[in-house]
Structures are given as C-alpha cells and as structure tokens.
Amino acid sequence: MDLVYVDPPFNTGRVQRRERLRTIRDEEGGDRTGFMGKRYRTERVARDPGFADRFEDYLAFLEPRLREAHRVLKPTGSFYFHIDYREVHYCKVLLDRIFGREAFLNEIIWAYDYGARSKKRWPAKHDNILFYAKNPAKYHFDLSEVDRIPYMAPGLVGPEKAARGKLPTDTWWHTIVSPTGKEKLGYPTQKPLGILRRIVRASCPKDGLVLDFFAGSGTTGAAALETGRNFLLVDKSAAAIEVMRRRFAELPVEFDVGE
C-alpha cells in the first residue's frame, strides 16, 4: 500500500448512532428558534442501532491491526491514524513502538466549530491525526498536490501572496459533515471529504493504492477515486457496507462480503 489511513472507533464509552430529525413550524410549542426568530418543533424520524464505542482493552484491540498496517505498507508508504484527545497519547506510544519514534512526522490537529459547548471546561473541538512514514528518509509527500488556503491576515503578506494563498500547516480548520448537508450519508462517524482529499493527494502518488480498514462511510475511497488513486476499503459493520454500496452504486467498484 502507498497510503494507509484509519479512523477507528474512538473508545468514547458511548453508543455511536445517527438520528434523523425533521423540524416543523410551531410558534406555540417549538423547541428551537430559526431564521428571523421563527419557532420550530423537532421530531425524530429514525434512529439507527449504531455501534458500542467501548473497549475493555483498547490498545490490545488496535495493536494487531496497526502492526498489519505497518506490514502492508510499501517502503515509501505513509500511515495516518485518526483519533481524538482521549486516547491519542496512548496510541502514539503504541505507534512509536511499531513504526519507530523516528518515523513520526506530524500530529495534525483538525479543528472545527460545531456542536455542544461545555460550561465547565474549554469545549473539545478538534481531532488528532498522527502521521508516520515507514521509512522517514524516503517517503512520498507531494506539496504541489496540496490545496492552498487563505491567509488569516492577508494584509500582512501583500496582494500577490494573498491571491495565491498558503499551504496548510499541521492545524487544519475544516467544518464537520453537516448533519443536514448533501455530503451526509447516514453513518454516525462520517468524516469530511475535504480532510481525506488533502491526505490522499499529499501522501499517495497518482495511480497509487490507498487502504482504509475502518472504512465506515467510505470517504477515503471517495477521495481516492476523485483524485485518480486506487483504493481498498474494509469494514465489518453491515451498516457501513450498506452505506458504501449506496455511495458507490453508480461506479465500477467491486464488493466482496465475507463472513
């Protein structure tokens, strides 16, 4: 594999599920306020069974899978591990043992601004993505493929640089998948296409092969397909397989469903 990206369950201790809601105009009994102060009532349309995101020994669950990820990488291959603040420290120690501390290249912070707000601490609004190279002396990384982003203070860099934009750093501001947007496919932990597109374009050569063995909604495959890379997606969840079947229904994608 040229690139392995995985977004495993985060061991949050909760059941991860997606609820489908609808809002109905209701000035008297509405539970939320919309545009121009109009009141709406929320009704639950459906609720999927989800999955239990809880492990007695999370690292023991991950370790054999991460060792296989290292094994199947090409000598020039890269590995991205997507997790959150609860487990990232323990997972990095494990990955350092598997890949070697010298193989660690970045901790990418994906920051977003959506959802509930804690009143007892700073609200947690970021995920962590650990980036490793199998061989830190020789791996594929193509900056020319990476999308440019606006400067936060364009007046300080001049009009030419401001028009061109800058390359992202290790902190990525990107919205989540909107619960009501067209990108949402009905999988509870779906990640944005923009995040995966950036990873695939930077760390997998054109016509290369990308693996995601916690494939979920198939966003890694969609990013690979869009950018001219080949992909292999694996997931044991029947719900995930069904979402991916719908996502790739019109495309020449093969499915092999085992026991």
Determine the Cα–Cα distance for residues 93 and 251; give it in Å rounded to an integer: 40
Res 34: pLDDT: 65
The answer, yes or no, to whether residue 239 has pLDDT greater than 70, is: yes
Residue-averaged pLDDT of the chain: 88
Q: What is the pLDDT of residue 258?
A: 63
Cα–Cα distance for residue pair 119/127, rounded to 1 Å: 20
- Tell me the whole-structure pTM to 2 decimals: 0.82
Closest CA to 174 of 241, 116, 109: 109
For 142, half-sphere exposure in the C-beta direction (CA atoms, 13 angstrom radius) is: 17
- State the Cα–Cα distance between residues 8 and 2, nearest whole angstrom: 19
Asked if the model's pLDDT at residue 98 lies above 70, the reply is yes
Position 28 in a domain: no
pLDDT tens digit string along 112-149? 987 778 889 999 999 999 999 999 999 999 999 999 99
Tens digit of each residue's pLDDT (9 = 90 or more) over 174-232: 999 988 888 999 888 899 999 999 999 999 999 999 999 999 999 999 999 999 999 99
Provide the pLDDT confidence category of residue 51 given band limits of 50, 70 and 90: very low
How many whole angstroms separate alpha carbon 78 and alpha carbon 149?
Answer: 23
What pLDDT was estimated at residue 40? 73
CA 23 vs CA 37, 41, 79: distances in Å: 14, 5, 41
Task: Give the span between the Cα atoms of 162 and 154, in whole angstroms.
Answer: 5
Q: Report whether 247 contacts 233 (CB < 8 A).
A: no
Rounded Cα gap, residues 111 and 251, in angstroms: 32
Q: Which domain covers residue 149, as residue numbers?
A: 3-17+56-247
When divided into structural domains, the chain yields a total of 1
Q: Is residue 36 part of a domain?
A: no
Neighbours of 60 (CB within 10 A): 10
If you average pLDDT over residues 28-55, what whole number do you get? 63
Sequence-ordered alpha helix ranges (H) in the chain: 58-72, 88-99, 159-164, 193-203, 219-226, 238-247
Task: For residue 127, give the CATH number of its domain.
Answer: 3.40.50.150
185 part of a folded domain:
yes
